Amino acid sequence: MDVCLKKIQDGIIDGNAELVKNSTEQALMQGIDADMIIRTALIPTMEKIGKEFKAGDIYIPDVLMSSRAMHASLYVLKPLLIETNQSKKKGIVIIGTVAGDLHDIGKNMVSMILQGDGYDVIDLGIDVPAASYISAILRYKPDILAMSALLTTTIGEFKNVIQAIIDEGLRDRVKIVVGGGPVTQDYADEIGANGYGKDLFEAIEVANKLLGNKEGYFNV
Ligand code: B12
């Protein structure tokens, strides 16, 4: 593995945001692209951290430090991910992590990659209650509502938001896409979402499919 990618991995594990930022910049200067950095250094390292956290080998403060370091890399990659050569915007996406859930790394990646693929993305942040999704739908009239949840205790919130959208008579106005660790295609079908993406690349695929346009910048 390339030295810079290894340093990004080590920096995330050690929670060393400075090392991660510098190594990400070096990797880009060496011609390693953002896609490669995400696939080989960022995602697998967070998975490793998740396993160590589950096993009780590391604790929440360690995970927070790693998350901060991971965001240092995303910050460097952001301009590249959202850079798009398309003059015509593909559509509007509202994205947010559902109520009770504070995980935002994956949601932020999905947000950036969709921007890079030509969507206007409005990010509502984390811990977003159903009422805020409704207000945002009324205000921005999005083509897609994308929701993220990482906890088995919060994925049920997707259902609550969908019910609130139905109650407001807005269900046929917006396509709903869900994703996050414990979410599956079966679950998405069960709750009546229009789509599911297992990772950021599938997020683009499903958005393009739902809007009938497959000509993305990342062309997945
Ligand atoms: C980082 C982290 C945290 C950080 C979050 C910091 C932050 N700013 O996000 C902190 C320390 C705050 C945290 C807290 C907690 N966490 Co936590 N956390 C993680 C960890 C290690 C990594 C998550 C991550 O960022 N992964 C990397 C990203 C890139 O992956 P991702 O989020 O899955 O996103 C990808 C896909 O899912 C998809 N995707 C995501 N969203 C969307 C949306 C759409 C629309 C689409 C299409 C796709 C999509 O695309 C993304 C990119 O490829 C995971 C372990 C893991 N393996 O996931 C545990 C994990 C999610 N946490 C867990 C737990 C239990 C907790 C706590 C309850 C711990 C506690 N006892 O307090 C709290 C809950 C806090 C809360 N209310 O939300 C459990 C969840 C178990 C479960 N299934 O319910 C996990 C799985 C750890 C474990 N193995 O036990 N956590």
- Give the Å distance between the CA of 63 and the centre of ligand 1: 10
- Give the Å distance between the CA of 188 and the centre of ligand 1: 18
Per-residue pLDDT reduced to its tens digit, 86-128: 556 789 999 999 999 999 999 998 998 888 888 999 999 999 9
Other Cβ atoms closer than 10 A to 47: 11
What CATH number should be reported for the domain holding residue 43? 1.10.1240.10
Last residue of a domain, one of 82, 109, 143: 82
Both 100 and 43 in one domain: the answer is no
Counting residues of the chain whose pLDDT is more than 70, the rounded percentage is 94
Q: What is the pLDDT of residue 220?
A: 33
Q: How many domains does the chain have?
A: 2
Both 128 and 34 in one domain: the answer is no
Identify which of 49, 53, 109, 175 to mutate to test ligand 1's pocket (most ligand atoms within 8 A of the CB).
53
Q: What is the pLDDT of residue 87?
A: 56
Both 7 and 73 in one domain: the answer is yes
Q: What is the pLDDT of residue 115?
A: 86
Expressed as residue numbers, the domain containing 183 is 91-210
Q: Does 220 fall in a domain?
A: no
Both 98 and 71 in one domain: the answer is no
Last residue of a domain, one of 29, 51, 82: 82
Q: Enter the tokens of residue 12.
A: 């995330």
55, pLDDT greater than 60 = yes
Query: In whole numbers, what is the pLDDT of the chain averaged over residues?
Result: 91
DSSP string, 106-147: HHHHHHHHHHHTTEEEEE--SSB-HHHHHHHHHHH--SEEEE
Nearest CA to ligand 1 atom 38: 199
**pTM confidence score:** 0.90
Q: Does 217 fall in a domain?
A: no
Both 189 and 125 in one domain: the answer is yes
Both 131 and 180 in one domain: the answer is yes
- Give the Å distance between the CA of 196 and the centre of ligand 1: 17
Last residue of a domain, one of 82, 99, 120: 82
- Give the Å distance between the CA of 49 and the centre of ligand 1: 10
Q: What is the pLDDT of residue 212?
A: 83
Q: What is the pLDDT of residue 84?
A: 59
Summarize the confidence of residues 137-165 as an average pLDDT: 97
Q: What is the pLDDT of residue 191?
A: 98
Q: Which of 50-59, 70-79, 205-214 has the lowest mean pLDDT?
A: 205-214
218, pLDDT greater than 90 = no
Summarize the confidence of residues 66-76 as an average pLDDT: 93
Q: Does 16 fall in a domain?
A: yes
Residue 213 confidence class, pLDDT cut points 50, 70, 90: low
Q: Does 95 fall in a domain?
A: yes
Per-residue pLDDT reduced to its tens digit, 5-31: 999 999 999 999 999 999 999 999 999
Both 114 and 77 in one domain: the answer is no
Q: In angstroms, what is the C-alpha Rg of the chain?
A: 17
Cα–Cα distance for residue pair 214/205, rounded to 1 Å: 7
Q: Does 187 fall in a domain?
A: yes
- Give the Å distance between the CA of 141 and the centre of ligand 1: 29
Q: What is the pLDDT of residue 203?
A: 93
Q: Does 197 fall in a domain?
A: yes
Summarize the confidence of residues 191-211 as an average pLDDT: 94
Both 24 and 97 in one domain: the answer is no
Both 158 and 195 in one domain: the answer is yes
Both 77 and 97 in one domain: the answer is no
Q: Does 124 fall in a domain?
A: yes
Q: Which residues line ligand 1 (CB under 6 A)?
A: 43, 46-47, 49-50, 53-54, 60, 63-64, 67, 100-107, 109-110, 146-148, 150-153, 177-182, 197, 199-200, 203
Q: What is the pLDDT of residue 149?
A: 98
Sheet containing 144-148, strands listed edge to edge, beginning at the edge strand earlier in sequence: 119-123, 91-97, 144-148, 175-179, 195-196
- As beta bridge partners, residue 178 has 147, 196
Both 169 and 206 in one domain: the answer is yes
Both 41 and 70 in one domain: the answer is yes
Q: Does 111 fall in a domain?
A: yes
